[in-house]
Structure formats: C-alpha cells, structure tokens
Amino acid sequence: MIIDWQPLLLTFKLASVTTAILLCIGLPFAWWLANSKMRFKPVIETLVSMPLVLPPSVLGFYLLLAFSPAYWFGQWLDRVAGLRLAFSFEGLVVASTIFSFPFLVHPIQAAFQNLPRSLTDAALVLGKSQWQIFTRVLLPNIKPALLSGTVLAFAHTLGEFGVVLMIGGNLPNQTRVASIAIYDEVESLNYAAANVYAGVLFLVSFLILLAVYWLNRRAAK
C-alpha cells in the first residue's frame, strides 16, 4: 500500500501557519478585550465566540461567498492583492484563523482578567512602559493560559473539516488536508489509507493535549 503523506503534511502546515497568525493577532486582542470598558464589548465577545456554536458549514458558506470573485470583497482582494482565496491554501488559513480564534482568545483573555490589577499599577508606578509591562509582567504570569490557548488553537485546526470542505474543496497539495482525505478515502472504500490518516491525527491530538495537561499540572505545583 502506498500512502500519500501530502494531506498530513498539509494539515500540519495549515495548523502551524494558522497558530502563528493567531498568536500575533489574538494575543493583543485578548489583552484589549480583558481591559476594554467599551459599551459594545459584549457584541465583539459574541462575534469572537460564534465559531464555537455555529455549524462550520455556515461559516464556510459565508466565507465562500465573501471570497468569491463574483462579489465585491473577492473582487477587491483580487484587484488589490491578486489573491483568490476560494479553493486555495491561503483561503484555508484565513478561514482557520477565524474558526480557531475563540480557542486562543478565551483562555488568554480570562488569564489577563484574573491577574490582579495592582500588578500593572505597581509596574506603572515603577516607571515601566505599557510594552515592558506587557512583555515582562503580564505575559510571563499567564504562561499556562498562553500554552493552553496556543495548543487548543493548533489542535482545533488539525481537526477542522466543515469549513475546509466548504471553502477549500479537495485539491491535492492545495486544500486536501488529512480530515478531508479520510472522508475521501472512505468514500472510495480505501479503508487502509483512511486508517493511517485517522490514526496519526488521533495520536498527535492525544499527545498534544496530554502535554498541555501535564505541563499545567507541573506549573500549578
């Protein structure tokens, strides 16, 4: 039996890129949410949490419409950046970023909110800039949440199916990630290949989550 490893590689590539982007956007965003006293904050929090409850196909459907060159956003992207996000790897990255956003933001936001306000106050009085306070006081004290948020976002992207199917389709080397490949192989009654993909995903997810729980238990001691 010859196993095509491409879907697995693509899955890990997608999860890594997505997680990296999420960290860059989600970390400042979580900090902002934790400190914001804005009136519309509940609306923003709701939007962030929507991917938790929406069927992935709903999100995928809207993204497909948005990315499509037939509509203004897709046209605009195509004209300005030359990007066609529908049925492309870049499109998957954008969709996964949105889809996994709450998994990263929630634990980190909660951790920021749980830090005593006096830590920031103390650092302010000691003459530290907001950047110094963020990097040297706040971030180091939310390490466990940072780890769980990052890992959950990564693991969640690994297991994505609905959104990918809607906007990525099943293009080899482009959008054919492992979860899609499993479905595809089962459809064509190729259970052995499906078994390999499924087994790898299962094992990797298990190991990642185990590492998080184990590290957080050690950090709590």
Partner 1 sequence: MIQASLKKQLHGEQGEFQLALSLHVAQGEFVALFGPSGVGKTTLLRCLAGLEQPEQGSIKVRGDTWFDSSNRINLAPQQRQVGYMFQDYALFPNMTVYGNLAFALRKGADKKRVYDLLDMMDLGELQHRKPNTLSGGQKQRVALARALASEPSLLLLDEPFSALDAQIRVRMHDELLRLQKHFGLTAIIVSHDVGEVYKLASRVMLMQSGAIVQQGIPIEVFSAGQTTGKFRFTGEILAIEPMDILCSLTVLVGNQIVRVVAMPDEVAKLNVGDAVMLVSKAFNPMIIKL
Choose between 79 and 121: whose C-beta lies nearer to partner 1: 121
Choose between 120 and 157: whose C-beta lies nearer to partner 1: 120
CB of 143 to partner 1, least distance (A): 8
- Alpha-carbon dihedral of residues 189, 193, 198, 204, nearest 10 degrees? -170
Choose between 72 and 131: whose C-beta lies nearer to partner 1: 131
CB of 145 to partner 1, least distance (A): 13
What is the enclosing helix (H) or strand (E) of 15? helix 6-35
CB of 116 to partner 1, least distance (A): 6
Closest by Cα among 117, 111, 202, 97 to 148: 111
Choose between 86 and 146: whose C-beta lies nearer to partner 1: 146
Q: What are phi and psi of 121, to 5 degrees?
A: -60, -45
Residues 156/107, Cβ–Cβ less than 8 Å: no
Residues 208/155, Cβ–Cβ less than 8 Å: yes
> Which 8-state DSSP code applies to residue 37?
-
Q: What are phi and psi of 169, to 5 degrees?
A: 70, -140
CB of 127 to partner 1, least distance (A): 4
Which stretches of the chain bind partner 1, using CB under 8 A? 116, 118-119, 121-129, 136-137, 140-141
Choose between 47 and 124: whose C-beta lies nearer to partner 1: 124
Closest by Cα among 34, 56, 54 to 44: 34
Maximum pairwise Cα distance, the chain: 67
CB of 155 to partner 1, least distance (A): 26
